[in-house]
Structure 1
Amino acid sequence: MSEASPGHRSKKKSRGGKKTKPDVDPTKTGRALRQEFTTGTVTELTQRIRATRTAVQPMNGPDAIGADVPHPVFQEFVTKFADRDVDAVFDAIRHSGAVELVTARIDAGKVKKGRPTAMSYRALIVAMLLTAIDGKGCLASEIAKTLYWRLHPSAMRLLDITPFPEPANAADQRRQQWKAQRRVRLALHRLLSVLDPSIHPKGRSMPWVDLRTLDRPLTEEEIEDRQVALSVFCNSVLQTPYDLLPASVKRKYRGSACIDATPARILARGRGVDSETASTDPDASYYARHGSHAEDEDPKIKKAFFAYDINLMVAVCDHLGDNQYLPALPYAMHLDRPGVDPAGASRRMMAFLHEKGHQPRYLAGDGLYALADPDTFHTPARDIGWQLVLPVLDDHLGIQTSLEGLLMIEGSWYCPSIPELLIDATKHFRAGLITLAEYRQRIEAREAYRARFKGTNKSGSQRWGCAASGSHPAVMCALKPKSEEKPMIGGPVLGVRLKDRVTPDPATQTAGVWPKPCRQESVTIDMGGFTSTDPDAITTEDQSRHAAAKYAQDLVFGTTEHTDTYNALRQSQEGLHGFAKDDAYEALGTPGKRRIKGRAAQSVFAAFLLAAAGIRKVRVFLRNAIPDSNGDLYVPRRERKGEHATSHLPPGTKGTRGDPDYDASDSDSEEAA
């Protein structure tokens, strides 16, 4: 890739229109050069096969030979879990508190005490996690096998499971298998019944008008109560790998995370949003590989599949360098239809982490979060302490808004006299007009004009001053005489140098008066958003505050720190998606491993599979970790290569992370993986 290239991936051709093939030499292609295998006649093949055999025995008919009893190889191989493994999972589930949550809700809904259940919820939940860790998915048949045929007697006593007697015959064996699976399904149904916020019946395809007559009569308060309970249950299970990390590892974690959604196909026939017939899973919808991924964004969807969106927040090590002190771990989730209210999903996840005592730092997301309404995503995130590290898309380059005389340029406040050449640095770079080295020089030159944060008022508004203001001005400006009293800046460590000089631009004056930042030591900026819900009452200042809340960055965009932090967080999130979807292990993206339909069931299954993936992540980390000079455990970062290598280009650049087209193509590669 040349330095002037605005991207690190080749641009994909549009799916619409006729594609043209490049000119190639046909004698150098696979069609001409790859190996071909020829096949002879049946007689020739028979003779060659006969030469490899010592004798020919009839395969069937009266003369066929073989034993009259089934060979032992046809008996099912059942490997048992070690008691140590069962005890570990039992303790992990005890630590999560998930059992107590479900039991309390079920007990609260009982009208009268009934017969004791054949299977406790603790046994079910422990078996679900054991089965997921073993790579068997979330199938009732596998969970039943875990409980009744893969545990030693001591483990069965621990879970209060009564073993079946030795079957007398094949029919008795089938009856026991059916009974074990039925117990699992009944216990799972009872668990989901107190968590499921969906009112729609599942399992039958029928007209929507008929299906709606069968809805459960839940009030809005009951629906939200169940949604919260479902969220707490799933996140309690999901967060188990992080909660059980060694304290030394958690102390090294600084609280940074990435937020994104990954699709999970389901085992149901899809029905479009405009269909009069409901799917057998009416809570799901089509996932479209473009834009917001919602099925109704484009009426001409050409590539989509029926699925749920698993919104995830992933804990990520933000220590830039060669040492990784924490594996990327999922620690909050929310499942919904694809493209439905990602900002709302983020608030649910952030609220859960906040209630758990999480201390936030950086939060990265793709272009969809950068485009969100700030009242629904950016402001709530900042209110609880997150520092947002987001891409800047092509439509939002340069000056994004202005307040109190300061200009917001790509997320940061700048002096109104900043030269246009520096304002348009990113725009020029993405247009290929300047090289990457020239772009970085211009971003560095912006620093002399960047406003300095002075503090936050009790009302929540912020105080900002130009670089020439304050008791220790960083630059010199003729409008701030104090800044010229000491022309040198620096110290014994970094050295002493002459301060940069800012030249006030007379064009910024209004009626001969300089802007507020040029006349005052600081200005007060309120990014609270709209003050009225009436569109006619929204003022220009309201719109500016709203834009400021949307575009503000907590790291200076274009700098190496912003780019590398964003890439580190996003790469870890993307890597986790592929890790959990590996068919050899959790197979999160394989619908056959999650067969029960419905929002609640799919949420619970996703939580257990992601928890299993997290446990596997921690195992690998602890196995390979080595102590650094301070005794903190770390693993060397792997150098990323190919299309997923760090580009070192500001996020949002075409062909890099943060660009919606890049993220859509990532979904394709992720599904292929």
Structure 2
Amino acid sequence: MARPAADETAARALRPRVRPGKITKIEDSKVGQLLTLLDRSAVPQQLEELLAGRPGPAGVRPRTVLAGLLLAAYYTGRATIAEAWRILHFRLKPKARTRLGIPAEAPTTARECIAASRRLYRGFDRITTVLDPARCDRRSRLPQDIADAYADAWNVPSGRQAAERLQQLANQLVLTPVRLAHKHGHLRGWRGDVGVDATSIPVLSHPASDRTPTAPVEITAGWHYSGGSGEGTFGYSATFVVAAHRRRPGESAGKPTAYPQMCVGLVLDTPTVRTGRNAVLALEELSELGVPAGTCAADRAYTGCSPENFQIPVRRLGYRLALDYKVNDRGQQGSWQGALLVDGSLACPHMPAALVQATHGLDDKAVREIRDNQQLTEHITAREPHYLKTKQGPDARGAIRLQCPAAGPSPSVNCARRDRLRPRTPRTPGPPSAVVDFSDRRQRAAHPAARPTVQLPQNEWLSPPPADELPRVCSKSDITVPADAAGDLKTAKFRQDSHYLSDDWIAAYKPIRSHNEGIHGRLKGDEIDIGNPKHRPAPGQVAQTFLVALLVTAGNLDILETWLYQRTGTQLTDSVFDNTDPQPPTRPETEPPAQTGRPPPPTTGR
């Protein structure tokens, strides 16, 4: 029976828009590449297992939903169901349609268009529902008390288990192009240095208002404040781990990279919550690829984390830390077994006070413009001989062994206390030669007169104390500093592996941090803009995590293709994707987590 004309007109007004002039067919080869990439991530298979046996209409399979969104992200820079629907039903050729289970003929009537789009929406809704610890109505504002109960469901043990499952699936998507590059040797030039940083992911939802007792639609969103900015962004924080590299001290910038600078880790979460833990989660996923662990550079947001949430686990993963400090944290920060902790490095207990306090109260502008401050540069250089020397690098637990700067065959300072407690045995009999070849730089540096002398207290010259009354760093041959520095929170929190503001620190910290900003600019550019909430309008943390992950996956693939074309003039072929090793087995699966640790609050949501 024919439908009334009014119904057909209303249906045409409601259906997704089709732009006939912009319908260009996508090559089967590119669809096959992206589909193979998606299958290698193993995400569609895991979603099928989670959805098995759930009641209700099945809608479109997760593999088809994710393929449509990935195609939309790759070709339009938008991860929206509407763009995915247009591509799946109007821009694919018959072979690609068959692979994705799409009907051979495109919908022609308004009713067919609505039915096709609703099936796609239903398929995406099933994905977000099964992964949400506490499903609620995401279309309207809830009363604040009910929304708080739903938000708390993310923080109970079952909610954290579900959130970690979600982050693992997102990371599998992001890391699939990285695995592809690693498999074919494109990451050989990467030494394992990484930059960790968080960027804002704004949402379309408005924050809570003081005028109404309702919560925002995004119940787990919050305010993200970028460094140096007093104006916040309402939404989520995305923790990015980017493949980066340090430079040699004094090396100029601008050289082409020997590897594609891809995003190698992503975690989306509420701002200022689990900041350090999210970075560790991404680094743990990265370590399973078998890539080396180099230097990890992070800004002051991560320096301020509790050591057990960031610094300690990162060291135990094998990374060297390069950190920055807040104004009040610069200068002397503590001590460890008698050694002074000065700007993250352990030093001689009698380092001159002027050098210890050289950076005390130093503002951020002075740190950025250190090259223009001659006095500060001289103090930073004068600190070097007083730092403890590494005797043994980190072991499997992240512990290192350090020794006095006056010890060893190549001391950097002269110390009467050290000579008294541990007299030196000359390598050759007789007094040292008084003749020095001034044209030989090594001879000049090795002569005692060229080294600074430690100024001991006056009473020590008159009555030297026994060894057991002296600091351990002076009385023992070396000291051990474990990764957790048990008993000294500041040592575990502030210690780093490059001397702060030295040439080595600048060559490590600043380039890696610039690579972080570069990946943010690349992923928030014109082609792919994860910072535009209209490019990922679906509400909810689960939906936002998946949409951002798909956009970053498309961005990673674009970075790899661009780098390969600029370097060799070639493109990624079908054989490159087909020969990729399958996804390594994931962590042992556990039972699907319960929806929440408490009964869900009553609500009218679907």
Q: TM-score range by the shorter chain?
A: 0.7 to 0.9
Task: Quote the Cα distance in structure 1 between the aligned partners of 2:95 and 2:166.
Answer: 32
Shift of residue 132 of structure 1? 0.1
Q: Is 1:463 the counterpart of 2:401 in the alignment?
A: yes
User: Residue 596 of structure 1 aligns with which residue?
Assistant: 538
Deviations 1:340-375 (A, max 9, x none): 221122232223223443432111111111122112
User: Residue 590 of structure 2 aligns with which residue?
Assistant: none
Q: What's the secondary structure of 1:479's corresponding residue?
A: helix
Q: Which runs of 5+ in 2 are unaligned?
A: 1-17, 570-606
Change (3 A) 1:614 1:178: same
Task: Quote the Cα distance in structure 2 between the aligned partners of 1:238 and 1:253.
Answer: 18
Alignment identity in percent?
24
User: Residue 588 of structure 2 aligns with which residue?
Assistant: none
* Map 1:14-163 → 2, pairs under 5 A: 75-107=20-52, 110=53, 117=58, 119-163=60-104
User: Residue 168 of structure 2 aligns with which residue?
Assistant: 232
Using structure 1 for the length normalisation, give the TM-score.
0.70
User: Residue 518 of structure 1 aligns with which residue?
Assistant: 474
Q: Given residue 279 of structure 2, which amino acid in structure 1 is its aligned partner?
A: S
Using structure 2 for the length normalisation, give the TM-score.
0.78
Paired positions, count: 523
Task: Quote the Cα distance in structure 1 between the aligned partners of 2:291 and 2:164.
Answer: 18
Q: Is 1:548 the counterpart of 2:491 in the alignment?
A: yes
Q: Is 1:418 the counterpart of 2:351 in the alignment?
A: yes
Task: Quote the Cα distance in structure 2 between the aligned partners of 1:618 and 1:101.
Answer: 26
User: Residue 207 of structure 1 aligns with which residue?
Assistant: 143
Shift of residue 454 of structure 1? 2.4
Shift of residue 83 of structure 1? 0.9
Change (3 A) 1:237 1:509: farther
Shift of residue 263 of structure 1? 0.9
Shift of residue 426 of structure 1? 3.1
- 2:273 corresponds, among 327, 340, 350, to 340
Task: Quote the Cα distance in structure 1 between the aligned partners of 2:305 and 2:371.
Answer: 30
Which one scores higher on RCO, CA 8 angstroms, separation ≥ 6? 2
Task: Quote the Cα distance in structure 2 between the aligned partners of 1:598 and 1:392.
Answer: 35
Shift of residue 429 of structure 1? 7.3
Which one is further off, 467-476 or 588-597? 467-476
User: Residue 515 of structure 2 aligns with which residue?
Assistant: 572
Deviations 1:404-448 (A, max 9, x none): 221111111111122223223334976799953443333232222
Change (3 A) 1:161 1:407: same
User: Residue 547 of structure 2 aligns with which residue?
Assistant: 605
Task: Quote the Cα distance in structure 1 between the aligned partners of 2:139 and 2:99.
Answer: 35
Shift of residue 400 of structure 1? 1.2
- From the CA coordinates, give the structure whose radius of gyration is larger: 1
Task: Quote the Cα distance in structure 2 between the aligned partners of 1:551 and 1:286.
Answer: 27
Q: Given residue 97 of structure 1, which amino acid in structure 2 is its aligned partner?
A: A
User: Residue 44 of structure 1 aligns with which residue?
Assistant: none
Q: What's the secondary structure of 1:596's corresponding residue?
A: coil
User: Residue 48 of structure 1 aligns with which residue?
Assistant: none
Shift of residue 176 of structure 1? 2.3
Q: What's the secondary structure of 1:267's corresponding residue?
A: coil
Shift of residue 485 of structure 1? 3.6
Q: Is 1:496 the counterpart of 2:443 in the alignment?
A: yes
Q: Is 1:507 the counterpart of 2:457 in the alignment?
A: yes
User: Residue 245 of structure 2 aligns with which residue?
Assistant: 317
Shift of residue 496 of structure 1? 3.1
**Does the 8 A contact of 1:415 with 1:450 survive in 2?**
yes
Q: What's the secondary structure of 1:454's corresponding residue?
A: strand
Deviations 1:476-514 (A, max 9, x none): 433334558477999x99743334434332329788534
Q: What's the secondary structure of 1:324's corresponding residue?
A: coil
Q: What's the secondary structure of 1:245's corresponding residue?
A: helix
Task: Quote the Cα distance in structure 2 between the aligned partners of 1:428 and 1:352.
Answer: 38
* Map 1:189-208 → 2, pairs under 5 A: 189-208=125-144
Q: Is 1:175 the counterpart of 2:175 in the alignment?
A: no
Shift of residue 161 of structure 1? 1.6
* Map 1:397-408 → 2, pairs under 5 A: 397-408=330-341
Q: Compute the RMSD of aligned alpha carbons.
A: 3.4
Deviations 1:296-321 (A, max 9, x none): xxxxxx73342111111112133555
Task: Quote the Cα distance in structure 2 between the aligned partners of 1:457 and 1:519.
Answer: 24
**Does the 8 A contact of 1:271 with 1:285 survive in 2?**
no
Q: Is 1:528 the counterpart of 2:473 in the alignment?
A: no
